[in-house]
Amino acid sequence: MCLIEIIQVVLIDQSERFVFKPLLYELLSGEVEAWEIAPQFSDLLANTDVRFFKDRVKCLYPCDHLGTNAPTAGTVHLESGLLIEYDWLVLAIGAEAKLDIVPGAADYALPFYTLEDAHRVDKKLRELERKNFGKDSAIRVAVVGCGYGGVELAATISERLKEKGIVQAINVEKTILSNAPAGNREAALKVLSSRKVQLILGYFVRCITKGVEPQTSDAEPKSIDSAADHSESVTLELQPAERGLQGQTIWADIVLWTIGSKPLLPQLEPSDKPYDIPLNARGQAETDETLRVKGHPRIFAVGDSSTLRDRNGKLLPATAQVAFQQADFAGWNLWAAINDRPLLPFRYQNLGEMMTLGRYDAAVSPSFTDGLTLEGFVGHTARKIAYLIRLPTDKHRVQVGISWLLKSTVDSVATIQTMLTKAQSGS
Ligand SMILES: Cc1cc2nc3c(=O)[nH]c(=O)nc-3n(C[C@H](O)[C@H](O)[C@H](O)COP(=O)(O)OP(=O)(O)OC[C@H]3O[C@@H](n4cnc5c(N)ncnc54)[C@H](O)[C@@H]3O)c2cc1C
């Protein structure tokens, strides 16, 4: 007699879309459309046996640490009231933006962390563009933080607004991208300076309040029509990180917050008993090197909601590159654990670092060649291809590949036409 074990895979996500976060900036530049970088789970999982539940996990009740007598390995409680019993669990719920760092940030700054955040920032920019259309003063954008997120936003928005905007980027360190490869930092500095982004370095934001810039008495009176509308402007109090510098105040029509993140796993703690999942101080699940949560043989954790050190004792960064590589190992190890095979230790391979610097610009520093940075259009093309390959499912990759190819053909034809028109008019 042959015993067939039926394995059912259930995917639970509070959103109906998978979101490829490294390409969220391109929604602001109009370079990609939402369906390309945020396809629906139902489309991605069509023709598979995976059952998708659009629901929010409210809390976790693991039992696998109680020994083999427990009837299930644990239960997941969903917001809809549904309880799902599992034999094996993979935790991959990521993190959220952290705005409670300084007073006023949660009220007056916009995070850029989710698809909804990107839509909100785009909507706000559109409103400002509409309000300030034809006016002679610029839209003021403050970007807080000059890590990858802040620099990519500053580059994208300064390119979008051109002379209609003033972008100021604030960083507590005296440089931008302090942990990035030097090539990426230099490429970014060149682009930001060419787009006149003002870098305010060595300062941290002390608080953000509502407030319009006071008019100086010698300022030229402007007509109502030509004065820009800054009625919703906010004030950022900046404090120097070192002695010897003076505090500053700046005003902005939109503040983008890119500092910090908060893992979501602590939110799944049951209210009626202490959490059984071992968490570090940030709230990430501690795993062993096979990606199993410590003390929980039936739970794997990957991505931003987990923490692991490499062989040199260095914490792995919370990046898509790590999450993507861990997903492969977790999948393999889950199969191995079910089939009583040895589990593989996760080994992170740093492939390099990439960043967008606008519609036709990027910086890519691969890890396998020391000192090489691909910049400009070459870097931009390399980054887009690398990300296209990492989008989920063959079908989706092909659809997005065709869409990007068509868009770049239209762009190229438009550029040639503009050049020909310029040449014919002799300008
Ligand atoms: C703007 C931006 C740009 C980035 N750019 C890069 C980059 O260029 N390179 C790079 O390597 N990394 C980049 N990152 C980091 C990278 O995106 C993350 O490290 C990666 O997405 C982590 O993957 P994850 O699966 O752990 O979490 P996520 O991708 O955040 O996925 C978590 C999922 O869990 C769901 N979820 C959360 N809570 C619940 C709940 N209670 N119930 C049900 N579902 C839930 C969410 O809806 C989401 O779909 C970027 C991040 C951002 C925000």
Residue 59 sits in the same domain as residue 160: no
Position 1 in a domain: no
Residue 143 sits in the same domain as residue 245: yes
264 lines ligand 1 (CB under 6 A): yes
Residue 180 sits in the same domain as residue 143: yes
**Between the CA of residue 418 and those of 48, 239, 406, what are the distances in Å?**
47, 47, 18
Residue 119 sits in the same domain as residue 182: yes
Query: What pLDDT is attached to residue 408?
Result: 86
Position 389 in a domain: no
Position 83 in a domain: yes
336 lines ligand 1 (CB under 6 A): no
Q: Give the structural domain span for 86.
A: 55-95+262-350
Residue 115 sits in the same domain as residue 248: yes
Q: Tell me the mean pLDDT in the region 231-247.
A: 90
Position 211 in a domain: yes
Confidence of residue 273 (pLDDT cuts 50, 70, 90): confident
pLDDT tens readout for residues 95-126 = 999 999 999 999 999 999 999 999 999 999 99
303 lines ligand 1 (CB under 6 A): yes
**Among 154-163, 217-226, 272-281, 360-369, the least confident range:** 217-226
CB of 142 closer than 8 Å to CB of 255: yes
Q: Atom 36, ligand 1: which residue's CA is nearest? A: 93
Kindly report the average pLDDT of the chain as a whole number. 92
Position 403 in a domain: no
Q: Atom 5, ligand 1: which residue's CA is nearest? A: 22
Position 133 in a domain: yes
Query: What pLDDT is attached to residue 5?
Result: 63
> How many domains does the structure of the chain reveal?
2
Residue 253 sits in the same domain as residue 120: yes
Position 15 in a domain: no
Residue 74 sits in the same domain as residue 121: no
320 lines ligand 1 (CB under 6 A): yes
261 lines ligand 1 (CB under 6 A): no
Position 176 in a domain: yes
CA of 96 to the centre of ligand 1 (A): 8
Residue 180 sits in the same domain as residue 216: yes
Q: Work out the percent of the chain whose per-residue pLDDT is above 90.
A: 80
Query: What pLDDT is attached to residue 416?
Result: 82
Query: What pLDDT is attached to residue 220?
Result: 55
CA of 243 to the centre of ligand 1 (A): 37
Confidence of residue 311 (pLDDT cuts 50, 70, 90): confident
Query: What pLDDT is attached to residue 224?
Result: 47
Q: Work out the percent of the chain whose per-residue pLDDT is above 70.
A: 94
Q: Which atom of ligand 1 is nearest to 355's Cα?
A: 8
CA of 422 to the centre of ligand 1 (A): 45
- Choosing from 238, 261, 284, the residue where a domain stops is 261
pLDDT tens readout for residues 54-105 = 999 999 999 887 776 677 899 999 999 999 999 999 999 999 999 999 999 9
CA of 20 to the centre of ligand 1 (A): 8
Residue 227 sits in the same domain as residue 120: yes
Query: What pLDDT is attached to residue 83?
Result: 96
304 lines ligand 1 (CB under 6 A): yes
Residue 156 sits in the same domain as residue 187: yes
Residue 128 sits in the same domain as residue 255: yes
- Choosing from 210, 238, 261, the residue where a domain stops is 261
- Choosing from 227, 261, 295, the residue where a domain stops is 261
Residue 148 sits in the same domain as residue 227: yes
122: CATH: 3.50.50.60
